[in-house]
Chain A
Amino acid sequence: MLETILSQKKGAIAGKWLELIADSYPAGVKILADKDKFTNPVGYILSSEIEVLYDEFVHDQIDSERATIALEEIIRSKAVQDRTPGQSVSFVFLLKDVIRAELKSQVKNKEFAAELAKLEERIDNLACQAFNVYTGCRERINQIRTNEIKRDRDNANRLLERFARKYGDQTVEVASGYDRSEVTE
């Protein structure tokens, strides 16, 4: 029942949700003015993925692959910006306020109360999922950092091994030509 209403009101609710999210960017950052995929990637991703996410949410598909991808797309940029983990995922909760505001006449209707509670539970679950995605992003960053350092080290080792093969016992002396702290690129 509520699902139908939410589907019908998709334009209004998803739009408002998006607006609120856009407002979470610092003053001076115009996220939605320009929906260009390449000159404004963050705004573009946000406006297209929020819609996807909303659909999945309404149809109780929040753990679908599409929903996960949408969450990933949205959160990936937040995860490297000047935001706390809370600030990176809190956009999900805004949906509660938007829905409440949009359905305020129906909210008083007792029949809906139960459904609404379910819906809010769904939002909570979505937030948990968002947090998982956020953590995934941070883990990825750490992995990338490790990979980068490892790649440097592997390079150095590869060359050192060849020195060893070439010079045998002299390795240490020759290799000291590299100060390991210098070998960073």
Chain B
Amino acid sequence: MSDEVASREELLKTIDYVPAKQDLYKPNLEFRPGTWNYPANPKKAELVDLPYPREWNPTDLDWKLPENWKEIILKGMEERLDRYRSLRVYLDICVRCGACADKCHFYLGSGDPKNMPVARTELMRSIYRRYFTVGGKLLGGAAGGRELTEDVLKEWFYYYYQCTECRRCSVFCPYGIDTCEITMMGRELLNLVGIGINWIVEPLSNCFRTGNHLGIQPHAFADTVEFAMDDVEEITGVKVNVPMNKKGAEILFVTPSADYFAQPHWYTFLGYMMLFHELDLDYTMSSYASEGGNFGLFHSAEMMKRLNNKIYAEAQRLGVKWILGGECGHMWRVIHQYMDTINGPADFLEVPKSPITGTVFENAKATKMTHISEFTADLIKNNKLKLDPSRNDQWKITYHDSCNPARAMGLFEEPRYIINNVANNFYEMPENTIREKTFCCGSGSGLGTDENLEMRLRGGLPRGNAVKYVKERHGVNILTCMCAIDKATLPAVVDYWVGDVEIGGIHELVGNALIMKDEQKPRTTDLRGDPLPGVEGSEEGGE
């Protein structure tokens, strides 16, 4: 045995130890199953006229690109450089200071250096330098340029569908460089040559046809809403009514389709219905505009506009005065930052005014659409609701700020105000994991499929870690949030990283606490059907 102590390098070489080394500019083509999404179903792509629909597979060598793919991509880039100042400026001015590097949940969870936001952007910036700047054209690699090859495109596919457009990096960047903008452009460009993922293309294609991502047709929509009415009656004994496609109602209510279809969204949906019934609100839902979410946002600006159009169009057809929106994340990015621009002006509507409190929502003066948490917070502030917070005593609650309402809106206080009024046990997660610094669920922007589960778990690590902290410290047993994607995907994240924490919505808690006029007998269960604390038969009961 040698006296020499083996050097670290040698040591590391002796065992199968280090994952493949990567160089920033060498395309990474390792496509481990569980870390990418299935390609778009060509039939669904054709339905919405997407270019080059075809069967292809990311693990294949040949992606069956159109012959002139390179020309298409470069032309597309040129066009977008003129259309989006964000793109041009952000490609020009990054100094690679590294402030963003450890802000990305995918970087923290995957340990893959290309998930540093700066690196993700360099994947495109190197192409920009090579083809659109003098230095790059002349000096190429020495000036940080890179040839556009099929491998680069494949890498784009891998990493631009490994960013949830959450904008956390943009908070910490000294110039506000927003990787979301780059990812959006990357996806638009990929879609020009028919590279898209099914979890985005199929929902948007469904939504275009049936009015919602799930492809639920109008009669089935009516049925599920009726089932929800039945559930409310079963729990509270109160028969509520949800008007559908009703002309002349005052308010059009739009919410993500998952609310009336998926768990645990369903309980939040029950909460809305109870609230509206209690207020005797003159509202309607619509089967045509039965989707608040907008997977077009994850595809292209054009697709976003095509889907979003239904909301204003339906508001006009039904002749409502204003629009109320349910709990959702990216839906609110579209409504807050895009809707008026892409499909406005909504001159036919009035400035939202709560018929109960008389409050005029001046902050929605142009777009004419109010967030349900603004609406409910205003009700509570004006003492219009009778609430029994003890009916949420089975919960020790924490709240997850969803990326879009947080960083593309600034909706922080309303949900917290509501929680504090409808429940007794609320605990914040650590300061640098909430509000504008909130960590993504890891499944946003159309990445929430089961085939992509491992990537989602990587992305969910920082959030899970913060939840674990409050669970161990305060015994938190429910993570509330106002986003349909969160509600659908956080259960998996929490299951893996924490365990034994439920996911719920704000209006589920509202529904639990709401004392309704028509209620004849005291409630024995919460909206999940679990016995309330203090009621006989409760003993950590239920499923």
Contacts and interface: CB of A to CB of B under 8 A. Distances in A.
A and B touch in the complex (CB under 8 A): yes
Given A26-B112, A82-B110, A87-B17, A182 B215 contact: yes
Given A26-B113, A149-B450, A177 B496 contact: no
A31 B448 CA distance: 27
A83 B3 contact: no
A125 interface: no
A162 B16 contact: no
Contacts of A145: 450, 453, 492
B465 A24 contact: no
B466 A38 contact: yes
Contacts of A162: 223, 227
A136 B258 CA distance: 32
Interface stretch (B18-26, B340-348, B357-365, B393-401): B18-26
Given A42-B108, A182-B202, A90 B16 contact: yes
B193 interface: no
B258 A185 contact: yes
A82 to B, nearest CB: 5
A41 B219 contact: no
A135 interface: no
A38 B450 contact: no
Given A87-B18, A151-B263, A182 B206 contact: yes
Contacts of A185: 203, 213-214, 257-258, 261-262, 448, 488
B16 A147 contact: no
A41 B439 CA distance: 12
A25 B111 contact: yes
A3 interface: no
Counting chain A residues whose Cβ lies within 8 A of the other chain, the interface size class is 35 or more
Contacts of B227: 159, 162
Contacts of A107: 1
Interface of A: 19-20, 23-31, 34, 37-42, 76-77, 80-84, 86-87, 90, 93-94, 97, 101, 104, 107, 140-141, 144-145, 147-149, 151-152, 154-155, 159, 162-163, 166, 174, 177-179, 182-185
The 8 A-B residue pairs whose C-beta atoms are closest, nearest first, are: A28-B113, A182-B215, A177-B220, A41-B465, A177-B217, A101-B5, A86-B16, A80-B457
21 contacts: A23-B8, A23-B12, A24-B19, A25-B18, A26-B22, A26-B111, A26-B112, A28-B24, A38-B432, A40-B108, A41-B462, A80-B458, A80-B496, A81-B109, A81-B111, A87-B19, A144-B453, A147-B491, A152-B262, A182-B202, A185-B213
Interface of B: 1, 3, 5-6, 8, 11-12, 14-22, 24, 30, 32, 34-35, 102-103, 107-113, 116, 119, 199, 202-203, 206, 213-217, 219-220, 223-224, 227, 257-258, 261-263, 430, 432-433, 448-450, 453-454, 457-458, 461-462, 465-466, 469, 488, 491-492, 495-497
